[in-house]
Each structure stands twice: as structure tokens, then as C-alpha cells.
Amino acid sequence: MTRPQPVVILLLLFVVVGLVAQVVPLYVDWLWFGEVGYTQVFTTTLSLRGALFTALALGVLIFLYVNLTLAARTAAPDVIWELEDQLGLPGRVVIEPLIRRFLPLVLAVISLASGIRATAQWETVLAYLNGGAFGTADPLSGRDVGFFVFVLPFWRLVHGWATTLVTATLVLTLAIYVLQRSLVLTTRGPRLAAGARTHLLALGAVLLALKAVGFWLDRFELVFSPRGIVFGAAYSDINGSLPVLGALAVLSVLCAAACLVQIGRPGLRFVAGGLLVLVLVWVGGLGLYPSLLQRFRVAPNEFAAERPFIEHNIRMTRQAYGLDRIEEREFPAEETLDARALDRNLTTIRNIRLWDHRPLLRTYGQLQEIRTYYKFVDVDNDRYTVAGEYRQLMLSPRELSSQHLQSRGWINEQLTFTHGYGVVVGPVNRVTPEGLPDFFVKDIPPAASGGFPKITRPEIYFGELSNDFVIVRTKAQELDYPAGDQNVYSRYAGRGGIPLSSWLRKLAFAARFGEKSFLLSDDLTPDSRLMMNRAVAQRVRHIAPFFRYDRDPYIVVTPDGRLVWMLDGYTTSTRYPYSDPVQGVGNYIRNSVKVTIDAYDGVTTFYLADPTDPIARAYATAFPGLLKPFDTMPRELREHVRYPEDFFAIQARKYATYHMKDPQVFYNKEDLWSIPRRSIEGRDREMEPYYTILRLPGEKKEEFVLLTLFNPSRRDNMIAWLGARSDPPNYGRLVVYDLPKQKLVFGPRQLDARIDQDPVISQQLTLWNQRGSSVIRGSLLAIPIDQSFIYVQPLFLAASEQGALPELRRVIVAYGNQIAMEPTLEQSLARIFGGRPAGAAAAEAAAAPARPGLAGTDAGRQLGQRALEIFSRAQEALRRGDWAAYGAEQKRLEEALRGLVESRR
């Protein structure tokens, strides 16, 4: 009995290990998709990838087998050829057995590799099978945009596969003919057997026919040409490249026909002549001719030649980024604000954000992390109705960071320290007397106040910092939260996680995570559940990798006290004709998906936010049940849907250029805008968009708006501002407010310069910076009120040493030519809109020297008591933001103080 050869044993071992390496992740993923409720997504994707693998592997195997077997069986016509061979190869007696032995193995390896590579293109095939029409025609060919987004990529993919296969087959076939001596290099020149010649010419004809198809498809790719002054097909593309590509397609077909004709004729004259003409037309027609056309026809009169294509670029770019939906309004930027106007906009004033994200995150970390293993990753802005008042709040979840555990290991990382705990919530504008943030929710366990709902389910098993996996419902104690010197332990009561109900599952997870403790630990029970893919961004990408996602998930506290993550999803494409691309994104984007993830159970739900998006509709068709109608989102979560910053920033940058709809203005860049830049932490950066609550001009009530500003290009004054509305029923609507071009409206950089030049402010900042402290200048916010702007910038003071606690010490308010810096926003506003603050008047009276007269009499005491009462009422009105009452009390205080002064004379 023959023993199996070592090579065969190693090969079989390699196959077994490879199968196990594939089966284990598939089994684990199947369990996980079943736990999250998206088995259909997993099976649809797996079946499509399996179909692609099978089709490509079989197709490659059959095509290669037929051609290579034919080549291997074609004998050399004359033994003399082998003697004349100049390559010095081994004889056919040696070569032929080797070919017969290893050819099946080579075919199998190539087929398997081709099938595996094909599975990576499943999204292209899925889009082709489920894509629909956009309802917009391409200006060049008149085809619907859906052809370029869904159909053309699939055709290019199939064409690429076919071309690669035929080329590889031609090369391998040629190699076999050389080894078999059907093609030899002799002293008299190359000699080719008749059968080999016929076979190679037939393959060449197929390859040239495929090249003709490629040239024909290249005609459609011109709409993505970067050659012209704008993205998309330009004059030289349409009048130069387009006809040449058609001619090349015809020439390629003729060359393929020449190959077939040459089979019945001696020599290679027809093929060589055809290929020579093809190469000359290719190089000259696609390289030289368009350049000459651009130089001598387009350049002398560029705008007239390129005008139609500039119009196409403007129209298609505006459509691709949703800029055509932006409503344009005028904003006069008047300087007519007074105390009564502020009183009419109390909700806006009370929701001006004073706490900047960066210093606030440091402050939260110092005050509320409680333990070293708890971390605040980010601070999110959202709006809530608290005690009947519409408020902008800042929220930050307290997450568990396993990297900061004092002792790491299987027990601590996977069984004991399993979740974060609670959130910190505070209003954006309230400050304690010590300059620290005020809280609506704080501490462990979370203590709510001020009318904010009580947190009933504070555990965060799914967050932004979550590690690979944890196991709950084990025999080990699971830390719930620390309480002084003791710890409070709990047992998970939710429905999240995969049950470890069998030995096979434990074995699969041990192999998946490389952790033997799954098999050896005594803490695991049949009731134990494994939670994996716990990081919210990773979780949603694992379920639906075909969407792009926003970089900032944000936490929502529901009225019943649960914590739910919300994340925005985007559909993108690089295939929108004529649309100007964004690096790393593409040239089409829609915010079509909203995702919610329960922080306790991990329940993940996808909602279709934009049913008009054809790409989102294609995925909804491919995966029924994945995208739920947006109206089915619970009302308490719909109230917290917000316009995403990443999408808004992309739209704003594009709108800075593509608000110019006139091609002449666009060509000359006469009205080019830019996002304002400021020096932030010593570096020059673009201003970030910011959320605020305000009443848009012409609207009746305040709403949650994402806002950004525009400057004219290379200038610092403000020219417009863009707002994205987040509250229903106006969610998703964008409004741009154009400022008068004949009027100077200060921009952020100019305001920064004016603040630096103010002698009182600059002196105070210099003094603080010289006393072992550092001044942190917060975000400069432009707040539209009625038809005017006020600018607000908080100032934070922090000690220079590491770990210092930033404190909000001053608030700068600018309006028109006036600038005020006071300890509070109310006092700064009062300096500008209400005369001297009541506190300053009272201090002046208290500091006045005592004089003989009525100051010590009953009448003097009565006047002083009255002034104190008025001052108290004014301060209370100031805290409430009641500017009308504040102004009235201030006038009364002035009268009382005058009476007191007169009584002293």
C-alpha cells in the first residue's frame, strides 16, 4: 500500500485549517446576527457572496481547463524543433508528466483565489440587482443617473473579470505551448505549430473583442473626467475623446476579426497591421488630440467653450449634495436690538451655549469620573423640555475603560467590570459661583434635579469605549457601581448577548477570540450570555457595512429613564455624473439612515429617514425589514433626531462655491465664499458648526438649529449664514441667510481682533496669563436675534499645572461696535443693552462716603432699604432673563439712589 506523500498531507492539513478558519467566524457571526435580529441580512449577504464565489470559481475553472488542457494535448509537429530550441528547457519527456500532475492543482488554486476575490464585490452586484432610477438624466448621454450608479459599475466589474481571465489564460496557454515545444525559438526565428497558432489567435480575438467593449464603456466614464476646469466631461472630452473612443471600439472589433481571418492565412500581417493602427489611434487620439484641442480651440475662448459643461457641473453638484433644496432668504444684519428685543427672545438668550466642549470635558473628568476606570469620551448637545421649558443641554455618558483598570485579566475585563454607569447632564448656560458647570444629572448613582427625568436604567453595556466582549450572568460578581469604600454588585437582567448554552458555542468563541478560559472557567453557566461588538460604531458597521456613519454617536435619555444611542448613517457614491467630489466621501451623499442602539440591551434599529434616496431604497429592497419607516421610531426618540454635523459640514463647504448658479460668476469666482477660520489652541482651524436654540427670522417659535457662517473668500467679514433645522415638522430643511454686500458685518476673526485690541479685556487677559494660570478662549458664537447678531465668547481660567480644573470666569458679548466682558452673560448683555448693571450702581452707593444729613435718619434708612429691595428684584429679573422687568427695576433703583444722594446734601 502506497503511503501518502508529505506534500499531499501538508496540502490536506492546509485545506482543513483554512476551512476551520472560515467556518468558525461564520458560525460566530451567525449566532451574533441571530441575537441582534438581523439573520436575514447575514444570510442574504452570505448567499450572494457564496453565489459569486461559485460562479466565478466554476467559470474560471472551466475556461482555464478547456484552454490549458487543449494546449497540453497539442503535440509539436516535428522532433527537430526540440533540438533547435534556444531556451535550454528540459525535454518534453520530463515536462509533460509534470504538466499532467500539477495542472489540476494550479487550476484549483487559481479558481479558488478568483472566487474569493470575487466575493469582495458583492455590494456592486447587490446594487445592480436592486438599484432603480434617480429620476435625473445625465446631460451627456441622456441616461438616468441610476445607470451610472448601479448598472455601469457592474458592467465594468464583469468586463474587468473577463479581461483578466482571458489575459491570464492567454499567458498560461502560451507558457504551455513553449514548454510543450509547440512554440520554439530557433536560429531561424520562432516556430509555431498550426494548432497552437489557431488557439492563440482565437484567444487574441476574444481579448480584442473585450477591449472593444472596454472602449465603449469608457465613453460613459467621460462624465467623471477631471480634465476640464470643472469636474465632468468638458469640451475636449466631448469633441475629442468621445469620438476617438468610438473609433477605437470599432478598430478593436476589426482587429479581432483580423485575428480570425489570419487563422486561415499564413503569417501575421493582418493582425500586426491592425494592432499598429489601433495603438497609433489610441496614443494619438486619446493623448495628443485632446491636448491640442484644449490648447488651440478651448484656451483662447475658454468660457464660451466650457459654459455648457460648467452649467452641468453646477446643476449636478447641487443635486448630488442636496444644495438645490436650500431656501434662500435675506438677513439685513441691523443694529436695532434693545432690551425689549432680548425680552422677546428669552428662550434664545437662555440657551446660548457658554460651556465649550473641550474645557467642559476636562471639567467633567475632574468632577464626575469618580473612579479611574470611568471616562467621559465626548460631550453631546441636545434639546429637552425640562420643567416645561425648552432647553439646550450638554450630556456626557460615563463609560468604562478597561484599559484603565488597575488589574486587568479575564475576571476583571470580561466578567466583573462589564459596563459604564450613568450620564452627566447640564444646561449650556448655567454656572456656579465657583465658575463650574451646573448639573441636572450627576454622581453615582445618577441624581436628577431641576425637572429632568430620573435615570432608571443607567448601565451602559454598549458605548463608544466598550472592549471586545464581556460575559454576563456568570457566577462572578458583576460590578454595578462603586459606593464609597464598598461596591454595589448586580446581575444583568436584559435580553442582550448570545447564550453560552452549549460546549460547541464555548469552543467556537474560544477559537474566535483566542481565549482558552471559555473552556476552563468555572464561572460560566448555561445561563451566561456573551456580548460582543459592543462599540456602537462597530456594531452598526457589522450589521450594515454598506452605509457610511457619522463620527459622533450621541446619547439620549428617554422620558422613562433609559439611555439610547443615536447615530446617523449616510449613503454615498462616487458615480454621480458631473458632481464635484469630496476626497474620501465621493460625489453624492444623503443622510438617509438613523440608527438607535439601546445602551443596556444593545437592541439596534435602522430607520429610513429619506425615502427619496434611490441608494437607500436599493438596500431596503435587498434587505427587507432592515430599514424601518421613520414614522415608526418612538416619539420620544424622534424628538431628539438632529441634523448631523458631518453631513452639514460637507454641504456647507460645497455651498461656499456652488451657491453661485450663474456660470459666468462661477467661472470668474466673483462671489466665492469660505468657512471662517480662527486660531484655536494655537492652530488656525475652520470654525466648527454649532447647535443652538433660536427663533429663525420670520418664524413663530424657537427651534434646535445647526448653524455655520460664511466669509467672502480671502476676507474676514461675514457674508451669509446657513442653518439646518432639526425639529419636526421642519427637520432636514436648510435655510441660508444672505447679508447685505454693501454693509460691513464683522466676522469671527475680526471679532477676535477687536477683543484683543480692547484695552480693558487685553489687560485682564495678560494679568491672568502672568499669574500661573492660562486663559482658554471658548467658541465664538454668532447668535442671530430678530434681524441682528450678537457675538458671545466664554473665557475659562485654568491653572497651568496638569489636571487643572477649567473655570468659566468671564463672558464676552459683542454687538455692533460695543464689547462687554463681565462675570455672567446677563451682566454683559446688561452692559450693552440696559445701561450700567444694577450691581454696579448699588456698589457705587455703598462706597460713597458718609455725610451728615438724612443718611442716618429714618428717612435715609427707608431710602436705603427701598434701594436694596429694588436691587434684589432687579437681580432676580436678571437671573430669570426678564429684560423688561430688569430695565424697569433699574430705573427705579436709579431714582432711589438719586433720592438717597440728595438726602445727604
- Cα-flanking dihedrals φ and ψ of residue 903, to 5°? -70, -20
pLDDT band for 854, please (50, 70, 90 cuts).
very low
| CA-CA-CA-CA torsion sign (743, 749, 753, 755) | positive
* pLDDT given for residue 1 in this prediction: 46
Long-range contacts for 837-843 (Cβ within 8 Å, ≥24 apart)?
837/878, 838/870, 838/871, 838/874, 838/875, 838/878, 838/886, 838/889, 838/890, 838/893, 839/871, 839/875, 841/871, 841/890, 841/893, 841/894, 841/897, 842/867, 842/868, 842/871, 842/893, 842/897
By DSSP bridging, strand 563-573 and strand 588-598 are antiparallel
Using a pLDDT cut of 70, give the percent of the chain over it.
88
- Cα-flanking dihedrals φ and ψ of residue 85, to 5°? -60, 130
Question: How many Å apart are CA 90 and CA 613, to the nearest integer?
Answer: 63
Of 54-68, 767-781, 820-834, the least confident:
767-781
Residue 859 has pLDDT above 60, yes or no: no
* pLDDT given for residue 534 in this prediction: 95
Question: How many Å apart are CA 239 and CA 305, to the nearest integer?
Answer: 11
> In the structure grid, which three cell numbers stand for residue 501, read together?
448554552
Mean pLDDT confidence for 452-480: 93
3-state secondary structure of 406: coil
Express each pLDDT in 564-588 by its tens digit. Answer: 999 999 999 999 999 999 999 999 9
Express each pLDDT in 806-834 by its tens digit. Answer: 899 999 999 988 999 999 999 999 999 87
User: In degrees to the nearest 10, what's the CA dihedral of 882, 884, 887, 888?
Assistant: -110
3-state secondary structure of 141: coil
Strand partners, 794: 811
195 against 259, higher pLDDT: 259
Which residue has cell 474560544? 510
| pTM for the full predicted model | 0.87
* pLDDT given for residue 77 in this prediction: 53
Question: How many Å apart are CA 135 and CA 614, to the nearest integer?
Answer: 9
By DSSP bridging, strand 604-608 and strand 627-629 are parallel
pLDDT band for 81, please (50, 70, 90 cuts).
low
pLDDT band for 842, please (50, 70, 90 cuts).
very low
pLDDT band for 839, please (50, 70, 90 cuts).
very low
Of 167-171, 216-220, 256-260, 799-803, the least confident:
799-803
> In the structure grid, which three cell numbers stand for residue 782, read together?
454668532
CA distances from 309 to 133, 287, 304, 433, 492 (A): 23, 21, 10, 62, 62
Residue type, 673: W
Express each pLDDT in 173-198 by its tens digit. Answer: 988 887 777 766 555 656 677 788 89
* pLDDT given for residue 568 in this prediction: 97
* pLDDT given for residue 194 in this prediction: 79
**Please, which residues have CB within 8 angstroms of residue 464's CB and are 6 or more apart in sequence?**
377, 378, 397, 399, 535, 536, 537, 553
pLDDT band for 562, please (50, 70, 90 cuts).
very high
Question: How many Å apart are CA 642 and CA 507, to the nearest integer?
Answer: 43
Strand partners, 186: 189
**Please, which residues have CB within 8 angstroms of residue 862's CB and are 6 or more apart in sequence?**
none
Mean pLDDT confidence for 64-81: 74
The highest-confidence range among 100-109, 457-466, 682-691, by mean pLDDT, is 457-466
> In the structure grid, which three cell numbers stand for residue 249, read together?
471600439
Return the HEC string of 726-764: CCCCCCCCEEEEECCCCCCCCCHHHHHHHHHHCHHHHHH
873 against 827, higher pLDDT: 827
pLDDT band for 228, please (50, 70, 90 cuts).
confident
Question: How many Å apart are CA 494 and CA 709, to the nearest integer?
Answer: 45
DSSP state of 414: I
Residue 87 has pLDDT above 70, yes or no: no
> In the structure grid, which three cell numbers stand for residue 327, read together?
431656501
Express each pLDDT in 700-721 by its tens digit. Answer: 899 999 999 999 998 999 999 9
Residue 148 has pLDDT above 50, yes or no: yes
Q: Are 144 and 136 in contact (CB under 8 A)?
A: yes
Which residue has cell 430688569? 886
Residue 594 has pLDDT above 90, yes or no: yes
**Please, which residues have CB within 8 angstroms of residue 272's CB and are 6 or more apart in sequence?**
none
State the DSSP string of 305-372.
HHHHHHHHHHHHHHHHTTGGGPEEEE--------HHHHHHTHHHHHT---S-HHHHHHHHHHHH--ST
Q: Give the distance, in angstroms, between the CA of residue 705 and the centroid of all CA atoms in the same chain.
A: 20
Q: For the chain, what is the mean pLDDT?
A: 88
434 against 541, higher pLDDT: 541
- Cα-flanking dihedrals φ and ψ of residue 210, to 5°? -65, -35
DSSP state of 150: I
* pLDDT given for residue 15 in this prediction: 59
For residues 723-742, one letter each, b for 16 or more C-beta atoms within 10 angstroms of the residue's C-beta and e for the rest, the string is: bbbbbeeebeebbbbbbeee
